[in-house]
Amino acid sequence: MKLALVCPYDIGRFGGVQNQVTLLARSLRGRGHDAWVVAPGQSDQPLRSLGAARSWSVNDSSAPIKLSPLLVPKLRRAVAAADVVHVHEPLMPLVSMAARWTGRPLVGTFHADPSRVVRRLYRRFPPLRWHLRAYRSLAAVSETAHSAVAGMGDMAVIPNGVETVGLPPREPTAGRIVFVGRDDPRKGLDVAIEAIGQVRETHREAHLAVVSPDRVRAGDGVVLYWGVADDVKRELLATASVFIAPNRRGESFGLTVAEAMAAGAPCVVSDIPAFADVVADSAILVEAADPAAFAAAIRQLLDEPARALRLGDKARERAEHFSIERTTDAYLTLYEAAIR
179-227 pLDDT, tens digit per residue, is 999 998 899 999 999 999 999 999 999 999 999 999 888 888 999 999 8
* Chain-centre distance for alpha carbon 104: 26
Q: What's the pLDDT tens digit per position in 134-167?
A: 999 999 999 999 999 988 888 999 999 999 999 9
CB of 54 closer than 8 Å to CB of 27: no
Nearest Cα residue to 87 out of 325, 340, 339, 335: 335
- Name the residue with higher pLDDT: 333 or 227: 333
- Taking the domains of the chain in order of start, what are their residue ranges? 2-161+323-338, 176-322
Fold match, 2-161+323-338 / 176-322 = yes
Query: What phi and psi values does residue 229 have, to the nearest 5 degrees?
Result: -75, 165
Q: Which CATH architecture has domain 176-322?
A: 3-Layer(aba) Sandwich (3.40)
Average pLDDT, the chain: 94
Q: Give residue 231's identity as a one-letter amino acid code.
A: D
Sign of dihedral through CA atoms 147, 151, 157, 158?
negative
pLDDT at res. 54:
80
Closest CA to 209 of 218, 197, 198: 218
**pLDDT tens-digit map of 90-139:** 999 899 999 999 999 999 999 998 888 888 888 888 889 899 999 999 99
Q: What's residue 61's pLDDT?
A: 64
Q: Structure pTM? A: 0.93
Provide, rounded to the nearest whole percent, the portion of the chain with pLDDT above 90. Answer: 78
Q: Strand, coil or helix: what is 88? A: strand
pLDDT at 95: 93
pLDDT at 151: 83
User: What is the rounded CA–CA span in Å between residue 85 and residue 260?
Assistant: 30
| DSSP, residue by residue, 141-166 | SSHHHHHHHTTSS--EE----B--SS
pLDDT bucket at 59, cuts 50 / 70 / 90: low
The pLDDT of residue 216: 86
Q: How many helices (H) and strands (E) does the chain have?
A: 13, 15
pLDDT reported for residue 53: 82
Higher per-residue pLDDT: 60 or 251: 251
CB–CB of 236/178 below 8 Å? yes
* Contact indicator for 21, 7 with CB cutoff of 8 Å: yes
In this prediction, residue 318 carries a pLDDT of 98
Do the beta carbons of residue 200 and residue 221 sit within 8 Å? yes
Helices (H), the chain: 16-30, 71-79, 95-98, 116-124, 126-132, 143-149, 189-199, 230-238, 255-262, 273-279, 291-303, 305-319, 324-338
Q: Does domain 2-161+323-338 have CATH number 3.40.50.2000?
A: yes
From 225, 218, 182, 192, select the one nearest 57 (Cα to Cα). Answer: 182
Buried b or exposed e, range 287-297, using 16+ CB within 10 angstroms? ebbbbebbbbb
